[in-house]
Amino acid sequence: MTKREPVDVSVDAMIEDLRTLVEVESPSRDLDALTESAKTVAEVIENRLGGHAVLVASEAGPHVHWTAGGDPRVLILGHHDTVFPLGTLARRPFAVADGHATGPGVFDMLGGLVQAVHGLAALDDLAGVEILVTADEEVGSRSSRALIEERARACGAVLVFEGAADGGGVKTGRKGCGTFEVAITGRASHAGLEPEAGINALVEAAHQVLTIAALGRPDIGTTVTPTVAAAGTLDNVVPAEATVVVDVRVESAEEKERVESAFAALRPRLAGAEITVQGGVGRPPMPESAAAGLFAMAQQLIPGLEGRAVGGGSDGNFTAALGVPTLDGLGAVGGGAHADHEYVVVDAMAERAHLVTGLVRAIRNDGVAS
Q: Are 370 and 320 in contact (CB under 8 A)?
A: no
Residues 165 and 186 in one domain: no
Residues 154 and 25 in one domain: yes
Determine phi and psi for 228, rounding to 5 degrees.
-140, 135
Residue 272: band (very low, low, confident or very high) from pLDDT cuts 50, 70, 90: very high
Residues 70 and 161 in one domain: yes
Judge whether residue 2 has pLDDT over 70: no
CATH number of 279's domain: 3.30.70.360
Whole-prediction pTM value?
0.91
Residue 368: band (very low, low, confident or very high) from pLDDT cuts 50, 70, 90: confident
Parallel, antiparallel, or unpaired for β 274-283 and 176-185?
antiparallel
Domain end among 220, 249, 283: 283
> Is there a domain that residue 2 lies in?
no
Residues 57 and 193 in one domain: no
Judge whether residue 280 has pLDDT over 90: yes
3-state secondary structure of 189: strand
| Letter string b/e over residues 225-247, b meaning 16 or more CB atoms within 10 A of that residue's CB | ebeebebbeeeeebbbbbbbebe
Judge whether residue 275 has pLDDT over 90: yes
pLDDT in tens, 92-150: 999 999 999 999 999 999 999 999 999 999 999 999 999 999 999 999 999 999 999 99
3-state secondary structure of 54: strand
Residue 348: band (very low, low, confident or very high) from pLDDT cuts 50, 70, 90: very high
pLDDT in tens, 322-347: 999 999 999 999 999 999 999 999 99
Domain end among 283, 302, 326: 283
Residues 256 and 204 in one domain: yes
Q: What pLDDT is attached to residue 369?
A: 60
Q: What is the CA 33 to chain-centroid distance, rounded?
A: 19
Determine phi and psi for 195, rounding to 5 degrees.
-60, -30
> Is there a domain that residue 356 lies in?
yes
Per DSSP, 106 falls in state I
pLDDT in tens, 11-23: 999 999 999 999 9
> Is there a domain that residue 340 lies in?
yes
pLDDT in tens, 46-84: 999 999 999 999 999 999 999 999 999 999 999 999 999
Q: What is the CA 26 to chain-centroid distance, rounded?
A: 15
Per DSSP, 125 falls in state B
Q: What pLDDT is attached to residue 308?
A: 96
Closest-CA residue to 310 (of 347, 345, 285): 285
Beta-bridge partner residues of 308: 171
Q: What pLDDT is attached to residue 173?
A: 96
Residue 367: band (very low, low, confident or very high) from pLDDT cuts 50, 70, 90: confident
Closest-CA residue to 301 (of 174, 173, 171, 170): 170
Residue 215: band (very low, low, confident or very high) from pLDDT cuts 50, 70, 90: very high
Mean pLDDT of 231-251: 97
Range of 90's domain? 11-175+286-366
Residues 291 and 278 in one domain: no
Q: What pLDDT is attached to residue 366?
A: 82
Closest-CA residue to 254 (of 289, 212, 221, 276): 221
Residues 147 and 187 in one domain: no
Q: At what angle do helices 292-301 and 349-366 cross, to 10 degrees?
A: 120
Distance CA 44, CA 338 (A): 24
Mean of the per-residue pLDDT values of the chain: 96
Parallel, antiparallel, or unpaired for β 176-185 and 63-67?
unpaired
Q: What pLDDT is attached to residue 370?
A: 56
Residues 221 and 92 in one domain: no
Mean pLDDT of 2-15: 88
How many domains does one find in the chain?
2
